[in-house]
Amino acid sequence: MKLTLFRGGVHPPGFKEQSASQGIENAPLPARLYVPLQQHLGAPAQAIVRRGQQVLKGELIGRASGPISAAVHAPTSGTVVAIGKHTAPHPSGLPIETVVIEADGNDTWCELHPCDTPFDLDPDAIAAKVGEAGIVGLGGATFPSAVKLKLKNRNPIHTLIINGGECEPYLTCDDRLMREESVAIVEGVRLMLRALEAQRALVVIEDNKPEAFAAMHAAAEAVSEVEVVQVPSLYPMGSEKQMIETVLGQEVPAGGMSSDLGVVVHNVGTAFAVHRAVRFGEPLIERITTVAGSAIVKPRNLRVRLGTPVEALFAYCGGIKGEPARLLMGGPMMGQVLPNMQVPVVKGSSGILALTAQEVNEQSTANCIRCSRCVRACPVGLVPLEMAGRIRVGDFKGAEAWGLRDCLSCASCSYVCPAHIPLVQFFNHAKGELTARAQADHKAKETRRLAEARSERMERIKAEKAAAAAARKAARAKKAAEEESAAPAGDSETSTEQKETSA
Amino acid sequence: MYAAIVSLTLMGLILGYGLAQAARWFKVEGNPLVEEIDAMLPGSQCGQCGFPGCSPAAEAIASGAAPVTLCPPGGKALAEALAAKLGVTADLGDMEDAGPKLAVVLPELCTGCTRCFKVCPTDAIIGAPKQLHLVIKDACTGCGKCVESCPSESVVLRPIEATLKSWYWPKPQMNLVEVV
């Protein structure tokens, strides 16, 4: 297959050997699971359980609300002991709605609806089963997968790309999954192809995972519509748009979506989850997570129930050496800083990293000398130094004009900057600021519309009241006039009557 | 007597006509800037800025008597737009001090008197007589008119809570090293 590598990119050291050699192990079931109702992009799920309620493993505890949302299921059987706020696995450290389940230790499944002939299901039924299972993009972006499987209704899809890039350093969960579950992944891919009514699937794997490539190649050999492609290891290969550019030679237009090109990208972990959901009826209640970093005594890949506190995983991996300088969820390039060790593993937790101060390598910044290394590293073709310079002085519109909206936040620029300028941190701040301002602007417009509608209504009511008063006045005048015209006869009658009675 | 009446009437008519013509020909155009600024303001006449409505506020901004950051419902976006319009620099740092707020009806105190939703400039409160009233968060500008109108002190303003959706990274600090 002819490859057209995207521009820029960086080669950070992989550090994958720490955990890649370790087979996937089951993490122990903790006594309490903290299951957030928002583990996906979009609207949070709505809790449908009460405190004190008994739940079985796989039972629905949070219903998807709105078109972009995902269901949440109980990861084990037990009792719901609380529904309230718990710190989110998010750098803000803000609390989010969380269902706390005390495990009863029996781990009893609820009634599942397996399907022995999943390929006889029609495409929408597959997408519906994926939606019911609460599956989201397991590469870390956590976009509800069922929504992506229905994209064919917007635009015909010809190619499904299965992202096995795993370009972030330290992470090996997809690598291990492909080595150990290749047959199941291929079935998941075929189910997704059927749901999308697409013709072919490309499983794209970086060349630093030869074992995974061999396993997937063997599993897909007999399946004509699934092709396994090896691509060079270059960060950020795992980014959707960069991967499409590499294997298809097409660039997704700025502001556009991959489905505009007739392409949909899903992660290998998602394909495996689809297989479990459609064939066995199992909802998404566990995932493979890499626990790594030099502060971890024994890095490994674990099959973790969602809601397991991070500290339980550390304990299983031999504990922590010294004080970790930074805790991350995801990889070191794009991962999220974790506020503490009590936060739970969620659907998007591809990795939990505990890094030492040496690995974090925090350095003081110097001035930009416009060496343009960041320009060469940017996979999108932006000019990070210009954008950062504008954001620094608060010129967000200027940064937007330099293409801030197309920035992936991949951190390649920050990685290469010899002055250690926090470039991607500037971009993340500016993106948030621009979104907040756009929302404020929208609200101001809506306020104006509402206020105008109200004053218009008030005027109308006033006019109606005036009209009604005028009508009443006219009616009274008319009545009075009628009475007046009728009065002489009546008056004479009454006066004669009065005269008669008085007489 | 007739002479006096006629002459005064004539004088009145002529002078009045003259004044009317003068008003027409020497008419002072309203400052177009004021109208433009008025169009940019939210127009909810909430009075949070301290002026009786959006038009007086627009006049004050145009004359430079009030800062461009005066409008809490407009927020930073409006302040920036106004600053760009007037060619002044806006000190946006001041804006966050107050912080946006939303009205909340305390259900245990609300008597359903309907006074609050009658004064709401954006129709953000729904309710009926002797029924619990409710604030529609998306429409509320936090102007506080409902708070003043409530006889049972059941409407309060509360700061908008940060959520995962609204949170974003603060601006990174650059600790520049001294280059010798």
DSSP letter string over B45-113? Answer: ---TTSSSSHHHHHHHHHHTSS-TT--TTTHHHHHHHHHHHHT----GGGHHHH--EEEEE-TTT----
Position A501 confidence tier, pLDDT thresholds 50, 70, 90: very low
Residues of B in contact with A454 (CB under 8 A): 121-123
Tokens of A342: 């009590």
Tokens 């909206």: give the residue.
A405
Residues of A in contact with B77 (CB under 8 A): 437-438, 440-441, 444
User: B43 vs A447: CB contact, 8 Å cut-off?
Assistant: yes
Q: In what order do the strands lie in the sheet with A60-63?
A: A46-47, A60-63, A72-73
Element of type H or E holding B35: helix B32-40
Say what the pLDDT of residue B135 is: 93
Q: In chain B, which residues fall in CATH 1.10.15.40?
A: 32-86
The CA–CA distances, whole Å, from A232 to A3, A250, A294, B144 equal 9, 17, 26, 60
Tokens of A223: 């399946």
Query: Exposed/middle/buried for B167, CB within 10 Å: 0-12, 13-18, 19+?
Result: middle
Say what the pLDDT of residue A110 is: 95
Residues of A in contact with B121 (CB under 8 A): 450-451, 454
Position B173 confidence tier, pLDDT thresholds 50, 70, 90: confident
Q: Calculate how close chain B gets to A132, using CA atoms only, in Å.
A: 24
- pLDDT average, residue stretch A389-409: 94
Instruction: Look at residue B176 and tell me whether its pLDDT is greater than 70.
Output: no
**Which of A201, A39, A37 lies closest to A136 in space, CA to CA?**
A39
Say what the pLDDT of residue B179 is: 52
Q: Chain B residue closest to A43 (CA)?
A: B165
User: A450 vs B74: CB contact, 8 Å cut-off?
Assistant: no
For B101-159, CATH number out of 3.30.70.20, 3.40.50.1980, 3.60.15.10, 3.20.20.70 equals 3.30.70.20
Say what the pLDDT of residue B98 is: 56
Distance CA A268, CA A286 (A): 15
User: A444 vs B74: CB contact, 8 Å cut-off?
Assistant: yes
| Mutation site, B164, B175, B179, B180, interface A, largest A CB count within 10 A | B164
Tokens of B90: 């806006």
The A-side interface with B (CB below 8 A) comprises 38, 88, 90-92, 94, 96, 364-367, 391-392, 394, 421-422, 425-426, 428-429, 431-433, 435-438, 440-441, 443-444, 446-448, 450-454
Element of type H or E holding A74: none
- Count contacts between A and B (CB, < 8 Å): 104
User: A92 vs B164: CB contact, 8 Å cut-off?
Assistant: yes
Q: Which of A38, A431, A450 sits opposite B123 (nearest CB)?
A: A450
Q: Calculate how close chain A gets to B137, using CA atoms only, in Å.
A: 11
Instruction: State chain A's mean pLDDT as an integer.
Output: 92
Distance CA B135, CA B154 (A): 12
Q: List pLDDT tens digits, range A172-186.
A: 999 999 999 999 999
User: A448 vs B42: CB contact, 8 Å cut-off?
Assistant: yes
User: What counts of helices (H) and strands (E) characterise chain A?
Assistant: 15, 17
Q: Three-state DSSP class for A204? A: strand
- pLDDT average, residue stretch A51-56: 96
- pLDDT average, residue stretch A140-160: 92
Residues of A in contact with B44 (CB under 8 A): 447-448, 450-451
Instruction: Look at residue A498 and tell me whether its pLDDT is greater than 60.
Output: no
Say what the pLDDT of residue A503 is: 41
Q: List pLDDT tens digits, range A293-320.
A: 999 999 999 999 999 999 999 999 999 9
Sign of CA dihedral A433, A439, A441, A444: negative
**Which of B132, B138, B139 lies closest to B155 in space, CA to CA?**
B132
- pLDDT average, residue stretch A453-480: 93
Terminal alpha carbon distance of chain A: 126
Instruction: Look at residue A493 and tell me whether its pLDDT is greater than 60.
Output: no
- B32-86 CATH fold: 3-methyladenine DNA Glycosylase II; Chain A, domain 3 (1.10.15)
Instruction: Look at residue A502 and tell me whether its pLDDT is greater than 50.
Output: no
Residues of A in contact with B163 (CB under 8 A): 94
Instruction: Look at residue B17 and tell me whether its pLDDT is greater than 90.
Output: yes
Q: Chain A residue closest to B164 (CA)?
A: A94
Instruction: Look at residue B28 and tell me whether its pLDDT is greater than 90.
Output: no
Position B74 confidence tier, pLDDT thresholds 50, 70, 90: confident
User: B44 vs A451: CB contact, 8 Å cut-off?
Assistant: yes
User: B43 vs A88: CB contact, 8 Å cut-off?
Assistant: no
If one compares A142 and B141, the residue with the highest pLDDT of the two is A142
Asked if A59 and A110 touch (Cβ cutoff 8 Å), the reply is yes
Q: List pLDDT tens digits, range B60-70.
A: 888 888 888 88
A 10 A CB-CB count for A70 gives: 31
Q: Which of B43, B168, B179 sits opposite A436 (nearest CB)?
A: B168
User: A365 vs B169: CB contact, 8 Å cut-off?
Assistant: no
Q: Which of A441, A444, A451 sits opposite B45 (nearest CB)?
A: A451
This prediction has a pTM of: 0.83
Distance CA B16, CA B9 (A): 10
Say what the pLDDT of residue A500 is: 46
Task: Kindly report which listed range (A26-35, A226-235, A347-356, B85-94) carries the lowest average pLDDT score.
Answer: B85-94
The B-side interface with A (CB below 8 A) comprises 41-45, 73-78, 80, 92, 121-124, 138-139, 141, 162-164, 166-172, 174-177, 179
Say what the pLDDT of residue B95 is: 59
User: B76 vs A452: CB contact, 8 Å cut-off?
Assistant: no
A 10 A CB-CB count for A361 gives: 10
Distance CA B70, CA B92 (A): 11
Q: In chain B, which residues fall in CATH 3.30.70.20?
A: 101-159
Tokens of B80: 């920036």
**DSSP-assigned beta bridge partners for residue A100:** A34, A82
Q: Calculate how close chain A gets to B81, using CA atoms only, in Å.
A: 10
- pLDDT average, residue stretch A432-436: 92
